[in-house]
Structure formats: structure tokens, C-alpha cells
Amino acid sequence: MSRDGQKIDRRKFLKGAAVGAAAVSSTAISNAQDQESADHQHAPSDIALRVKALETVLTEKNLVDPSVLDEVVDRYENRIGPQNGAKVVAKAWVDSDYKARLLDDGTAAIGELDLLGTEGEHMVVVENTAEVHNLVVCTLCSCYPWPTLGLPPTWYKSSAFRARAVIEPRAVLREFGLEVSDETEIRVWDSTAEMRYLVLPRRPEGAEDMNESELADVVTRDSMIGVAIL
Ligand SMILES: [Co+2]
């Protein structure tokens, strides 16, 4: 679907949400959802509906500009995400000079690709090797490098992951299906508002003949957080 098509759908949906917000009636909300189900596979969750209703009210009171909201949503839905981090990783794999710059000064090297931004102004890149496996967490909240990885997954924000990643990283990784041998050191990096981390995973076996863009396609979000390998 084109971007314009999405925007039209979004507008249509806002009208449905407005009905729900104004009436505060479960019947009105379920009608809005039924209407929406005709166009979309999944009806929105209750929280999504509340957000949309709030957006509608703010828009009607001229407190927010809906075109600005559309721009923000489009940015995080379509343009900012792990595909950006994957570009950084793939470039580091094929360009050893770039890799050296990336590990020396992540912020500058990611800036070379124009991939810095809000919630990712100061970046440190840590390299997985045969001896060291890196894992990123934010023990305090959910600091995460938005420009290179998009928005953090739910489990990253969970109190269980935040607490246990530091205390028992090997057990946590095992639960993600990743067995790290006892000989491999696990380094856990605690993100802050000032410093965000990106893991440079090891290039997978059998990827020797791939070009940079093919390599970018095999890099996963989880491998750049450190809960998976490639
Ligand atoms: Co945080």
C-alpha cells in the first residue's frame, strides 16, 4: 500500500476513534472496530484506540498538527528501524577502515551514514569476537538506539530482562535460544540517556560471497542487541 493510502486509512480511522471518544460507549467502540476490521486484518487494541481517541481530541482542539504526527509515525514505521543498524554492520563487514572508525568512535562513523538522531546521539559500537559476546540492556528504563534499531521491543523494557541481563546473562541468553560457551566472555553494556550501544555481530559462516546490501539483509535486530547471533 502506498504511503498516501496509509494516510487516508489513518484519517478514516481517526473518525472512527472520534466516535468512540465522544460517546464513551462500548457499542460505539465495537462498531468502530467492526468498521475497521473490514479494511484491516486486526482490530486495534484498547490502548491503540485510546491513543487514537486522544490524538483526535488534541487535533480538534488545535493542540497538535496531524500532519506532524503522520510524519512521526511514518518515520518510525517505515524509515527508522533495525534496517539502519544493519547497514552499519554490513558496511563494517566489507570495509575494514570503516569498521576501525566505527569501533573507535561509533557516533562519528554512524554519522558518516547519516544515521544519528534523537535517542541515538552518542553511540558506542561493541564487537562480538570468538572470545567476547556483547549484550546490551538498560537496567534503569529502556534506553535504546532508536535511529539504528527503531523502537525497543517489549521484552527489552521488561523488568525481568533489565534485572537479569546483568545478574545472569548466560541464563537469559539461553532463554533467547542462544548458548554461549563458558570460554566466551559475556560483556553486558548498560545503556543510558547519554550513551547507546550497538553490537557488531560476527559475520555469519557462508556469507563470504555476499555483497554489502545482501549482508545487510541477514543482520537481525536481536543480533545487534546481543540476544542472538547470525
Ligand atoms: Co534507560
pLDDT digits over 173-188, tens only? Answer: 999 999 999 999 999 9
pLDDT in tens, 17-44: 444 444 444 444 444 444 544 454 556 6
pLDDT at 44: 63
Residues 92 and 142 in one domain: yes
Q: Which of the residue ranges 54-63, 110-119, 198-207 would you say has the lowest mean pLDDT?
A: 54-63
Please give the grid coordinates belonging to residue 42. 486486526
13 CA to centre of ligand 1 in angstroms: 33
Residues 111 and 217 in one domain: yes
**What residues have CB less than 8 Å from 47, skipping those under 6 apart?**
none
141 belongs to the catalytic site: yes
In the predicted structure, residue 146 carries a pLDDT above the cut 60: yes
138 belongs to the catalytic site: yes
66-78 average pLDDT score: 79
State which residues have CB under 5 angstroms from ligand 1, the bound ion. 138, 140-141, 143
Q: What average pLDDT does the chain have?
A: 84
What domain count does the chain have? 2
Q: Flag whether 94 is in a domain.
A: yes
Which residue has 554489502 as its cell numbers?
Answer: 212
Domain membership of residue 94 as a residue range? 81-225
Residues 67 and 88 in one domain: no
226 CA to centre of ligand 1 in angstroms: 17
CATH classification of the domain holding 127: 3.90.330.10
Q: Binding site for Fe(3+), residues?
A: 138, 141-143
Q: pLDDT confidence of 54, banded at 50, 70, 90?
A: confident
In the predicted structure, residue 209 carries a pLDDT above the cut 80: yes
- The catalytic residue among 25, 141, 158, 213 is 141
Distance CA 152, CA 142 (A): 7
